Amino acid sequence: MSRSSYYKYLNKKPSNRELENVEIEKKIINIHKESKNRYGAIKINESLKTLGVTISSKRTQRLMKKLGIKSIIARKYRPTSSKRKIEEQENVLKRDFNTTTINEKWVIDLTYIYTIKDGWCYLASVMDLYSRKIIGYAMSKSIDTNLALQAVKNAFSLQKPILSYGIS
C-alpha cells in the first residue's frame, strides 16, 4: 500500500451519500416506530416521499436491512389434508336450532387465530343455543378431537346440566 493511500484513509471524510443516508436512516426509524413496526419497505418509501425524501424502494430496502428493520408478516393459513379416514357421526340436531330451555342444545365452533408469538392457534367454543352465550371454551396450538372435548368438559363443569339421554 502506498504512503499517500494510507494517509488518505486515515483522514477520510464521509461522502455526501453517507451523510444523506444517515439522515434518511433516522427518518426510517421514526416512520417504523410510528407504524408500530408494521410498515415494510414500500410503505416506508411512500412515507418518505410525503416527507420530501425521494429515493428508490431498493435503497429503502438496503437501509432497512442495514438497520435490521423488518415488517410484521402474517402468513396465510394453508390447511393440509389429513390422511386419516374420517368417521361420520350422526347429525343429532338435523338443522333444528330452536330450543325451549337452557342446556337443551349445545353447539361447538372451531376458530383459527394467528398470533405473532405462537403462530396459528385454535379456539374451540361451546354455545348454548337457548341463551346464545358461550358457556365453555378451550385453546390449543394443535387442532384435534381433544381440543373440542376439552371445551365440552369445561362447559359441562360450569353448567352442570341434567342429562336427558346417554351422553357421558
Spans of all domains in the chain: 15-67, 106-159
- Our CA angle for 86, 122, 81, nearest 5°, is 35
Mean pLDDT of 80-106: 83
Distance in Å from the first CA to the final CA of the chain: 86
Tell me: pLDDT of 87 over 60. yes
Which residues lie closer than 8 Å to 49 by C-beta, 6 or more apart?
A: none
User: What's the whole-model pTM score?
Assistant: 0.49
Q: How confident is the model at residue 104 (pLDDT cuts 50, 70, 90)?
A: confident
C-alpha cell at 63: 437501509
Please check the confidence at residue 155 and state whether its pLDDT lies above 90.
yes
Q: Determine which helix (DSSP H) or strand (DSSP E) holds 110, and give its type and residue range.
A: strand 106-115
Contacts of 103 (CB under 8 A, 6+ apart): 128, 130, 159, 161, 162
Task: Kindly report, residue by residue over 17-70, the tens digit of the pLDDT.
Answer: 999 999 999 999 999 999 988 899 999 999 999 999 999 999 999 999 999 998
Q: Which of the four pLDDT bands, split at 50, 70 and 90, describes residue 168?
A: very low
**Phi, psi (degrees; rounded to nearest 5) at 46:** -65, -40
For the residues 3-11, what does the mean pLDDT come to?
88
Partners of 108 in the β-ladder: 126
Average pLDDT over residues 160-167: 64
The percent helix, strand, coil of the chain (3-state, each to 5) is 40, 15, 45
